Chains A and B, each alone.
Chain A
Amino acid sequence: MRTIEQTTQEILELATKHFKAVPDSLKAEDDFYKKLGIDSLQALELLSRLENHFHIELPDYEVQGVSDFKTLAERVQSRL
């Protein structure tokens, strides 16, 4: 079982790769809308990547209003 730190790190790496961000530039507390300059639809694309990576289902409602990686990691962790 992953720790929350591992989950967070993996999410940051996935987001970096998916949105072609500068490596190691993302932090857990970052607001991903602001930091990555993405909109709500692009955020949904990230969710699909997370589902495939962690082999979980993340209903849309679970991530309603979530905008930072830390909270996102908590939501993922609760479903692992």
Chain B
Amino acid sequence: MLDLAKYSSLGEAIRDALEIWPREVCLYESDRGDEKQRLTYRDFKDRALPLARWLQDSGFSAGDRASIIMTNQSKWLISAFAVFYCGGVLVPLDYKLKPEEQWKLLKHSGAGVLITEYPIWRQLGACGGCANAPNVKVVLVTEAPPNADLGDAIRWESAESDRRPAFVPRRRQDLACIVYSSGTGGTPKGCMMTHANYLEQCVALTAWYPFWPGVKYLSILPTNHAIDFMVGFIGPFTCGAAVVHLRTLRPEFVREAFAKYKITYVSLVPLVLKNLQKGLQARFDELPPRKRRIFEILRRINIEMTRSRPILPLSRLLLKQVHDAFGGKLNAIIVGGAFTEPQNLQFFYDLGIPVANGYGLTEAGTAITVNDLKPFRADTVGKPLPGMQVRILNPDGDGIGQVAVRSKTVMAGYLNEPELTAQTIVDGWLMTGDMGRFDHRGHLQLFGRKKNMIVTEEGKNVYAEDIEQAFEGLAVKEFCVFAANYIWPSRSMVGEQLILVIHLDHGQSFTEALRNEIAARNSRLLNYKRIHGLVLHAEDFPLTASLKIIRVALAERLAQRKREEAILPL
């Protein structure tokens, strides 16, 4: 691995990595089981530098912002490196957002360059094009069909120059990325991440979960997400390791990729882990009774032998068939983005597959705590990574309070939001909004959220304010969306539900037509943003002088009712 303490920027570190491991493979790209591309570090450099030069020729320089909206693929990473090489600031956006949301964030970020894929560009164009964000002056589009009309956009494949680009150095405290951590309702929250944030995080994570030449990381989480950006780009690329991209994320192709590429690490959201467990359990249940008994005996031996620490060679021998299905080289499944249920984690560990569960926030530079496997603990989110100071603020009688973090990995602040930044980072401590406590072994346990936000099992952050837009103009006096656990704290990180609180006009009754209207609007929301229940509130909502709902006060009033009696099914 590179000694990242000696580096000032991501561009500088990756530039050197490309020289140190020229013959190592850095990227595999597969589509429907067929390998479409295999790039060495030298190939990567040969593709990135002409693009960097082209960007420089088009006026892109230090501190300028370029956004990437792409699915996980080689051109994502090539483009990102080209941007860093020019000293630019990267704005990675979620390709799964709706085009209007993407335009909103593009405008907010101030990006002058957009690098995207043809199908995404078609959707962005159908939604009004660059008029939505006049700051976007240059658009590069990958993989456009030969006869496609791109308007003013330029083909990514033709954006190259033969002349050598000039490497633009950056300081550690300079911005590397602006990362949008959540939905777009209300104020877009653009986390300003510095080069130091990423370099420090990379050192901390690889201290516990190292990469080296020959390691293959399967990239499934979107690369704009903090986890994949770190473990599916910066981590492997500063260690000479390789990343495997799949252009089609169907379960059968993902399964196939594990065995074909003998994957070392993969990151998953809890929902996918749960599905994997379901699939494996179904296969175990189908075993004939005798084989099933043998399997259970081997599993029990594995559990006994790996109680204090994982012994991968032994587990691979004992439970060979299970491990072979994963390629036989899987060192750990990294799970993050949302809370994972302990029994889900234990299931995999009992099979000899460690799950590196942890806890983190984009604002904290990805991971704060991670399971160190010494020994494996399914009931906590692990210990603070090296360099992380974690404190519990104002603990109650049970020792539970808000988790606060201080570290070189904590963001510089929210873009254009000094007040929000001041509320979030207090005296150098990042207020996470999550409630937790440390056990006597120094492991962090989480007990719910202080903020009115939910994190779905797919790792999506959902803000109540975001959902309210879908109900704008509803024929009621007033309404408000809450996460049910915010009103009635359940001390649980799973099973969260969104509810719509309605205050009807005087004399108005709750009719079937109104219910249908709510259901219809709800169904237009993306699946994970939908509300699950209604609460009828008979009093005026408490309002600020500027007529904004005081959520905390309303939540307190609602909490006086019993949860199960207050929530009506939709």
Contacts and interface: CB of A to CB of B under 8 A. Distances in A.
Interface of A: 31, 33-34, 39-42, 44-45, 47-48, 57, 59-62, 64-65, 67
Interface in B215-268: 248-252
Nearest to B32: A57
Category for how many chain B residues contact A: 20 to 34
B198 to A, nearest CB: 28
Contact of B250 (A33, A39, A45, A64): A45
Nearest to A30: B523
A60 B73 CA distance: 14
Interface of B: 32, 71, 95-96, 98, 117, 119-120, 248-252, 271-272, 275, 458, 523, 526-527
Nearest to A45: B251
A61 B523 contact: no
A61 B98 CA distance: 12
Nearest to B117: A61
Nearest to A62: B119
Contacts of B71: 60-61
A34 B98 contact: no
Given A31-B523, A39-B271, A44-B251, 4 more contacts: A40-B458, A41-B272, A59-B248, A61-B119
A67 B527 contact: yes
Given A59-B119, A60-B71, A61-B71, A48 B96 contact: no
Nearest to B458: A40
B237 to A, nearest CB: 25
A59 B145 CA distance: 15
Given A59-B248, A60-B71, A61-B120, A41 B271 contact: yes
B169 to A, nearest CB: 37
A contact face: mostly helix, strand, loop, or mixed: helix
B251 A34 contact: no
B251 A33 contact: no
Contacts of B98: 65
B382 to A, nearest CB: 26
Given A60-B71, A61-B120, A41 B251 contact: yes
Contact of B275 (A41, A57, A62): A41
Contacts of B95: 61, 64
A64 to B, nearest CB: 7
A53 to B, nearest CB: 15
Residue from B95, B458, B523 whose CB has the most chain A CB atoms within 10 Å: B523
A31 B458 CA distance: 19
B523 A34 contact: yes
Contacts of A41: 251, 271-272, 275
A64 B96 contact: yes
26 contacts: A31-B523, A33-B527, A34-B527, A39-B271, A39-B275, A39-B458, A39-B527, A40-B527, A41-B251, A41-B271, A42-B275, A44-B251, A45-B250, A45-B251, A48-B250, A48-B252, A59-B119, A59-B248, A60-B71, A60-B249, A60-B250, A61-B95, A61-B117, A62-B119, A64-B96, A65-B98
Nearest to A44: B250
B527 A60 contact: no
Nearest to A29: B523
B538 to A, nearest CB: 29
A67 B98 CA distance: 14
A55 to B, nearest CB: 14
